[in-house]
Structure formats: C-alpha cells, structure tokens
Amino acid sequence: MLLEYSLDPEIFESVEQFQRIIEACGISEGRYIANLPSRRWEEVVFKWLRAKDPNRARRAEELLTQCKRRHGLIPSRVSNCPDWIEATLEQHKSQPFKAVVTEKEIFPARISLNDLSVDTDPWKSKRGDRIPIDAVSIGNIAAPLLRISKEIVLLDPYFDPKKARYHESLAQIVKHSIHDGKKPERFECHCKINLNQVKQSPTDTADAWSHRFDKDCRTRLPEQLPSGFQMKIVLWDEIPGKEIMHARYVMTELAALNFEHGLDDSERDATTDVSWLSPEVHQSRWDDLQLNSTRYRRIRSIEIVGNGAT
C-alpha cells in the first residue's frame, strides 16, 4: 500500500509535467519519491527545471513544498553516494523500488515518465486493502511505513499483555521498525482500562486492574522484544461524555494506517480491512495521544526494555 520510486530529477521537460507527477505523491496517496542522492533530489530538479521552464520555476518550488507536507518526498537511506544513478543502484540492491523512472539506459527495468498512470501499474497505488488477520500480514502491510519512520505509536484499546496473539503481532511490527540496524526514536503502544474485566468482580477497581496490567506488561513483554529495544505502554481511561477509544491504528510522525479488526493475530481464517487515514485525520488522532492531550485521562506509562533474542 506504500510504494517507493526513484525518479530521475533530470527527466522533466516542463513544470506542467512535473506537476502531474508531484501532485500524485504523498503517503496517504500510497506513493512517495526517494530523495536521492542524499537529500539533494530537490536541489537537482530545481536547477534542471529553471533551465527547462524558467518562467514557471517558482511554481515548481510551490508544488514541491506542498508535496513535502504530504510526505511525498522522503530522505534516502543511502547517504554516501554522490549522484542519483549511484544512489539508486545502491539502494535498489537492498530494498528494490517499485519502479525507477528515467530514460537513462543504465537501468534495464526502467519506466518512462510518459508511461506513468494512476490507473495502471507500476504507478497505481491502493488507499486500502484486505488482508488476513495474522501477525505476518499485519507486519508486512505496515512495513514500508515503519521503515521510513522515526516515531511509531500503536493504538489498540484492547491490547492485552497476557495474550500470545498480541505478542506475535507486536514482534512483527517491532521487527519491521528496525531497519539497517537503526531502532525507532520512539515506540509506544496505547490502550485503555478494560472496564468489562473490572466489572466481572464486584470487589475489583480500575486502580487495582491498572496495577495488575502494569505487572503483566513488565513480566511478559520484555522477552517479546529484541535485547535493548525500548518501548512504552501508555494506559488511558475514557472520560465520561467524551471520546470513545475504539479504533486501531499503526501511526507514525508521517502517516497512519487504520486496522478495522485490530492489531492482534486471529485463530480464525478471517480477513480485515486496512486503509490510510487522511492527513487531517492522522494529525488529529496523533494529537489525541500526546502528553498534553485532554481527549482521554492518562493513567500510567510503563517503560519496557527488551531482553529477547536480537
């Protein structure tokens, strides 16, 4: 659902041609351009367009600014290559692009700019998909987003550290969040007090339940995480008359995926729908889970450090 392209910065003949491509890029659109070489793609493309279409060069800058707000241009993972060809070849070896768009014959599997259409492969993308409800499928569909993100926030209101089906999905998501040996700067899982469990005993309280939850997290989760991997579990309570915490998301600072069923593995042969949140909804839901949020009542944060296999 998230496709990465390497686009020759010297392929455009006009700003109008540039606009057709750049307006179709953004994570919520399911596609983005790798900023190759080493964050210099925009510098090269502007120099090229100023020579090709000088009267509209300013418009190209405006279009790219808008694209970057949609996260349609993402820094490359290759930092040492001096030019676009070398950087593309280097990255394509370890993490193949959906397509390399160029007229240069050095790329045998290249595609021409004029062949790109939002209705056909390889430029066609999906805003949603239907996947099996299993840990591997959940991890795989989130992987392209996780690989390019620094901050990862999971929201599953019903996360239960005692149940193996949550461990399996968590392990897959964590695995894909570590790329080229680099761990995310922030990794959190947000959930809420399970009042249905509290109500099962007339002597139980929400405070007692949250203490048991804390103990279960500290006891059961470290072995599910790679050694040294840091994770925070954030427990919330709903505020009467305010927001209901129900949806399940994999969110990052860049975008968010909505999982209709949830983030746990299933023993049934079943499927769930996965879809991108719009940039506006993503930002709103992201804000809901920050420290200063008043949407829910923050109960506790639980710091977990992995001690499992690396």
Starting from the edge strand earliest in sequence, which strands make up the sheet with 230-237, in order?
Answer: 128-132, 271-276, 256-259, 249-252, 151-155, 186-192, 230-237, 297-305
Quote the CA–CA distance of 237 and 214 in Å, as a whole number. 14
Q: At what angle do helices 15-22 and 57-69 cross, to 10 degrees?
A: 10
d(Cα 229, Cα 175) in Å, to the nearest integer? 10
pTM, two decimals, is 0.90
The residue range of the domain holding 81 is 3-115
> Can you tell me the distance from the alpha carbon of 229 to that of 307, in angstroms, rounded to the nearest whole number?
8
Number of folded domains in the chain?
A: 2
Assigned domain for 310 exists: no
| Residue 122 included in any domain | no
Question: Looking at the structure, do residues 137 and 173 belong to the same domain, yes or no?
Answer: yes
- Cα–Cα distance for residue pair 45/212, rounded to 1 Å: 56
121 is a domain residue? no
Question: What span, in angstroms and rounded, lies between the C-alpha atoms of 256 and 27?
Answer: 9
Q: Is 151 within the bounds of a domain?
A: yes
Statement to judge: residues 241 and 207 lie in one domain:
yes
CB count within 10 Å of CB 206 equals 15
Alpha-carbon gap, residue 35 to 76, rounded angstroms: 5
Q: What is the CATH number of the domain that holds 222?
A: 3.30.870
Q: Write out the chain's pLDDT in tens, 310 residues.
A: 999 999 999 999 999 999 999 999 999 899 999 998 877 899 999 999 999 999 998 999 999 999 999 999 998 776 677 789 888 988 888 888 999 999 888 877 789 998 999 999 999 999 999 999 999 999 999 999 999 999 999 999 999 999 999 999 999 999 999 987 889 999 999 999 987 777 777 778 889 999 999 999 999 999 999 999 999 999 999 999 999 999 999 999 999 999 999 999 887 889 999 999 999 999 999 999 998 899 999 999 999 999 987 6
Domain boundary among 115, 137, 163: 115
